[in-house]
Amino acid sequence: MKRYAVRGAGGRRQQLHAVDGVDLEIAAGETVGLVGESGSGKSTTGRCILRFEEASGGRVTLDGASVTGAREARLRPLRRKMQMVYQDPLDSLNPRMPIGRQIAEPIWLFGLATRHEADRRVGELLDLVGLPADLAHRYPHQLSGGQQQRVAIARALAPEPSFLILDEPTASLDVSVQAQIVRLLAEIQSRRGLAYLLISHDLALVGVLAHRVAVMYLGQIVELGATDEVFARPAHPYTRALLSAAPKDTPGEERTRVFLGGEPAAAIDPPETCRLHPRCPFAAPSCLDRPAELQGFAPGRAVRCVRFLDEHLGGAWTWVPGGTGTDA
Amino acid sequence: MVAEAAYLLRRNPITLVGLLLLVLIAAASLAAPLLAPYTPLGTDPGAALQPPSAQHWMGTDEFGEDVWSRVLWGGRIDLLIALGAVAIALVSGCALGALAGFSGGWADEVVMRAMDVLQAFPSFILAMGIAAALGPSLRNLIVSVALINVGVYARLMRARLLVVKHAPYAEAARGAGNPPWRVLLVHLIPNCLTPIFVQSSLQSGWAILTAAGLSFIGLGVRVPTPEWGVMVAMGVARINAGEWWVSFYPGVMIALAVMGFNLIGDGLQDLLDPQRR
Amino acid sequence: MLDVRGLRVAFHTRRGVVPALHGVTFSLAPGTVTGLVGESGCGKTLTALAIMRLLRPPAEIQEGDVRLEGRDLRFLREREMARVRGEGIAMIFQQPRASLNPVFPVASQLVHVLRLHRRLSRGAARAEGEALLARVGLARPDAVMRAYPHQLSGGMCQRVMIALALACRPRVLLADEPTTALDVTVQLQIVELLRGLQRELGLTVLLITHDLGLVAEMCDHVHVMYAGRIVESATAAALFRRPAHPYTRGLMAARVGTGGRALPTGIPGRVPALAETPSGCPFHPRCPLAGPGCAEQDPGSEAVEAGHAVRCHYWRSGVA
């Protein structure tokens, strides 16, 4: 179980609310997708969980042990249990170290085995990710993008973590290789019962791998729920915009699009009320009456949209497809 | 590693020339006891200032010492100066630069301002000052030359480190369980070394020139010690009298050694960077 | 409008001459959008650069014909070709921020192009520049004119690039991965923009991409490339309805759709390095339909139906 409420801030005179009041729980064997565009705060959230950046508030707990506020000595065993796979494998691997050594490091650094033992385990890990064991003395730039990402995954799995953060794991890969990596990640999860936090702007990827999804905009979660449901019947206007913006599957497909006006603002000194309001095609004056809070409206689903909650809470909720702003 | 080095040398003939030059000089200097027909300090007033001949391949100086022998023994001293001074400058400069670059904050400020002070002086003048303050001797010569070069390494290391410490693999190394000092030593510094090594080969050449210069004006080693710079100095007065060989041969050796160091500079870059292979 | 025939490009390396494009042939009909689809390393960007004669050594065009409205581009004098670039064919590149000069504000880059090709005075060029920026949907063109590339978002930079490309009223537009580096909502905006402009100006567009979704959005015709060859050509509708080449089918299966939780199917192996292209049909080591003869002979073009061609020995066994 992991739970965290994170609030990050930076900037000099003004406060940049990079991440604001994020609450998530992830169970073992589950994948939660964190979806948003650039500037949504999803990557920052991930890095705060791992304590690569210090959150300004909130708590992160891993299996009941507190991650935030832990001093170095207590943080180490926790670090072992949470690992990260980065977007660009060439950047996330040390260019001057053979990959075998990089995979072995976490094993003996965390005290799981001696250095000699670790080398043997490297072979097993390479096998697990579908790479031949003799690649261990190669350098990262001698491998293809797909192979590099597999190495990064092997390194993340080396200390036998229980939780993996995947930050855009397929973004820099070719399409056919992406599919291979997606299958690999799914297989590993079912074999080892890992919990994943999948951070991505690629809705399709999240749709395939994630059991639940949280949509972020300007540092806040605006919608939360089971992936299938959120994708089939999105509640928040931003979710609808994202889903409809995805390219068509075939040329003949008809797709109604929900458009957002303008460009996303920076989250500097943001208002308590709805942050999407200036751009939202469903915006109404009453939306600014009260602060926009994330509230549940159906089992397992929550949304941060004043208008939606006003109109649907308390009554049976029926979802209307498309919509052009006169939605009811 | 050896096979790759051989391949690279074949591709860069210039580097090969440089390397051969240095190897020859080093070998000759190391073998000085075997190759030198006379002791370097053996005076023979009767045979003073004789031009190159079968008995004295490079002639004799005003004390009757054989120039060829002194050149050979001098090689030891000059190479020692070059490598020693550069090694000291490199290690201390890199340590300081790493401290500054990695810690940031006030450590960075303090170290960099100290380097600024050091580099504000024209380097040779500074070396003169240090050597004069410490007194002429071989050890002090090495220290002086080392000190004026520390700043270069500190800056190089710091500059690379500032870039590299933000790389995802630095963070990944932390995630893999490396404590910060290990991230710095094992992961970051090896990625910063290439420009430093290239620089150091060039610095070695300059170190010899600086040492020769200091000795020339009397601030380096003292007279009887065979060092190329001192030998050139001693022979300068003799040139007008037509006795050119006393300065010429040590001067040529300086030139060859410096050239050798410069030529291997680029080749080192290729050799050390795994991505260019 | 644009005819490419038998284009062969090779690289001169220490290990000899390595062929990169093997006889690429296609035509762009005026006013249409054609997609050139493939993964990294298949040669699509190389093809565009070869058409624009922007290749530098060690790359070299060895053979082939490139004609714009019948005019041979390969043997034009450099000065003539410089006029074609911009006025005849314009190109948008992949990374918008990296393709704009970071030390000049947007205004100077636009004005430079306008004065060079359309011989406008400085004042007229500025005015026209602002008008162009408004045309590509930028809200405050005067502010954008004064801005430097790093002050603009990715989407805005891409619009600036499009404005630059259209400044000289080209007839053909080569768009190399125009949406790859952008967020998905911004991608949609750019796609809408390009479609609108293309209809309005009657542009002929060659869209280079690895994203089949983008192809479905925008393209009338499609060519699929692999290892420096076109392996399938069809109208977009036909390609999606009945993909014939095993590689095309693999790409389709590798896509992740927003419906259902089926895992995508990857294509085993990986794209071969240029110097290690397999003999015969270059796809055969990874191909589920590979059979006798595939390793020996590069397949020629066969017709699947009217207007739909494929280069595969055994395509029939894969298609229903």
Buried b (16+ CB within 10 A) or exposed e, B55-94: ebebbbbebbbbbbbbbbbbbbbbbbbbbbbbebbbebbb
Range of the domain at C210: 2-79+86-99+171-219
Higher pLDDT: A63 or B145? It is B145
Q: Is the pLDDT of residue A231 over 60?
A: yes
Q: Is residue C138 part of a domain?
A: no
* C261·A207 Cβ contact <8 A: yes
- Residue B174: CB partners within 8 Å, gap ≥ 6? A52, A79, B180, B183
Which pLDDT belongs to residue C137? Answer: 80
> Domain A2-210 belongs to what topology?
Rossmann fold (3.40.50)
- Lowest model confidence (mean pLDDT) among A281-285, B151-155, C234-238: A281-285
- A301-318 pLDDT, tens digit per residue, is 888 887 777 777 655 455
Chain A with chain C: Cβ pairs closer than 8 A: 124
CB C66 within 8 A of CB C4: yes
- A75-116 pLDDT, tens digit per residue, is 888 888 889 998 888 888 998 889 988 998 888 888 888 888
Which of B163, B169, B184 should be substituted to probe chain A, the one whose Cβ sees the most A Cβ atoms within 10 Å?
B169
Q: Is residue C19 part of a domain?
A: yes
- Rounded to two decimals, what is the model's pTM? 0.80
pLDDT category, C304, cuts 50, 70, 90? confident
For residue C161 the two structure tokens come to: 């690039």
**Average pLDDT, rounded, for chain C:** 83
CA separation for the pair A145, B36 (Å, rounded): 60
- C122-141 pLDDT, tens digit per residue, is 888 888 888 888 888 887 88
- C241-300 pLDDT, tens digit per residue, is 888 888 888 888 887 764 556 777 777 777 787 777 888 888 888 888 877 888 887 888
**Average pLDDT, rounded, for chain A:** 79
Q: Is residue C210 part of a domain?
A: yes
CA separation for the pair A171, A176 (Å, rounded): 12
CB A51 within 8 A of CB A58: no
- Which stretches of chain A sit within 8 Å of chain B by CB? 50, 52, 72, 76, 79-80, 83-84, 86, 88, 91-97, 102, 105-106, 109-110, 139, 141, 152, 155, 158-159
% of chain C beyond a pLDDT of 70: 97
- Look up residue B185 and give its DSSP letter: I
Which pLDDT belongs to residue C202? Answer: 86
Q: Are strands A295-298 and C2-13 parallel, antiparallel or unpaired?
A: unpaired
Which pLDDT belongs to residue A316? Answer: 47
**Average pLDDT, rounded, for chain B:** 82
* B175·A52 Cβ contact <8 A: yes
Which stretches of chain B drop beneath a pLDDT of 50? Answer: 277
Q: Is residue C8 part of a domain?
A: yes
Q: What is the number of structural domains in chain C?
A: 1
Judged by phi (left if over 0) then psi (alpha if -120 to 50, else beta), residue A93 lies in beta
Q: Is residue C277 part of a domain?
A: no
C213: domain CATH number? 3.40.50.300
CB < 8 Å to C246, chain A: none
Q: Please tell me which of the candidates C155, C186, C213 has its beta carbon nearest to residue A246.
A: C213
Q: Does the CB of A314 have a partner CB in chain C at under 8 Å?
A: no
Which pLDDT belongs to residue A154? Answer: 92
